[in-house]
């Protein structure tokens, strides 16, 4: 059995969890998150804890148990405090602007790139920093990855979009003799 699934998940104050069939709903101060889980996993709720265990002895059931525990923990954490990712834009003339639910990026192409911001994600852009907030960790990661994929950092001058703590390995370039 998964090491994570051996311990119960404690539900903190101001957070409620509801299990219906193969889905779990976590409601907290920042919103409500719902997720379906695998039928290979049995999820039960005691007073202030959730326990996850595999159904059967299949190796896949053990893997699904650990994954389900991680998802539930992220849902509980996200309902209390929003997840955040910061992206840094480097390059002359590169900039980002957010209006309503649309983000416009100038990345050195012949046209501005427009991205629709998902409903459950809040995006702010200040100078060369884009900040992505949400209570859903997967939505934050997916949107940040979509933005970064538009112009990945290149190794010679470092121009492009990178995560805040990402290290871009720089190359020397051509030498003149």
Q: 137-150 and 59-80 helices cross at what angle (nearest 10)? A: 90
Residues 61 and 41 sit within 8 Å (Cβ to Cβ): yes
State residue 173's pLDDT score: 84
In the chain, where does the domain assigned CATH 3.90.930.12 lie? 4-80, 83-163
State residue 40's pLDDT score: 92
Banded model confidence at residue 57, pLDDT cuts 50, 70, 90 = confident
- pLDDT for residue 37 is more than 80: yes
- pLDDT for residue 4 is more than 90: no
Q: What is the pLDDT of residues 69-118, one digit of tens each?
A: 999 999 999 999 999 999 999 999 999 999 999 999 999 999 999 999 99
State residue 127's pLDDT score: 87
Tell me the CATH number for domain 83-163.
Answer: 3.90.930.12
Banded model confidence at residue 1, pLDDT cuts 50, 70, 90 = low
Q: What is the pLDDT of residues 124-164, one digit of tens each?
A: 999 899 999 999 999 999 999 999 999 999 999 989 999 99
Say which CATH topology domain 4-80 has.
Answer: Outer Surface Protein A; domain 3 (3.90.930)
Q: What is the pTM of this model?
A: 0.89
Banded model confidence at residue 56, pLDDT cuts 50, 70, 90 = confident
What is the average pLDDT value for the chain, to the nearest integer? 92
State residue 86's pLDDT score: 97
């Amino acid at each position: 059995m998964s090491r994570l699934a051996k311990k119960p998940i404690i539900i903190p104050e101001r957070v409620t969890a509801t299990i219906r069939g193969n889905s779990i709903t976590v409601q907290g101060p920042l919103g409500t998150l719902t997720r379906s889980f695998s039928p290979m996993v049995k999820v039960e709720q005691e007073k202030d804890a959730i326990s996850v265990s595999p159904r059967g002895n299949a190796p896949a059931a053990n893997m699904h148990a650990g994954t389900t525990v991680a998802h539930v923990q992220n849902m509980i954490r996200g309902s209390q405090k929003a997840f955040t990712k910061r992206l840094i834009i480097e390059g002359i003339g590169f900039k980002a602007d957010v209006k309503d639910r649309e983000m416009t990026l100038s990345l050195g192409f012949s046209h501005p790139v427009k991205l629709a911001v998902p409903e459950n994600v809040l995006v702010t852009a200040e100078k060369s920093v884009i900040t992505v907030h949400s209570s859903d960790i997967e939505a934050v990661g997916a949107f940040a990855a979509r933005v970064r994929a538009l112009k990945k950092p290149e190794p010679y001058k470092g121009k492009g979009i990178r995560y805040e703590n990402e290290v871009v390995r720089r190359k020397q370039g051509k030498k003149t003799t």
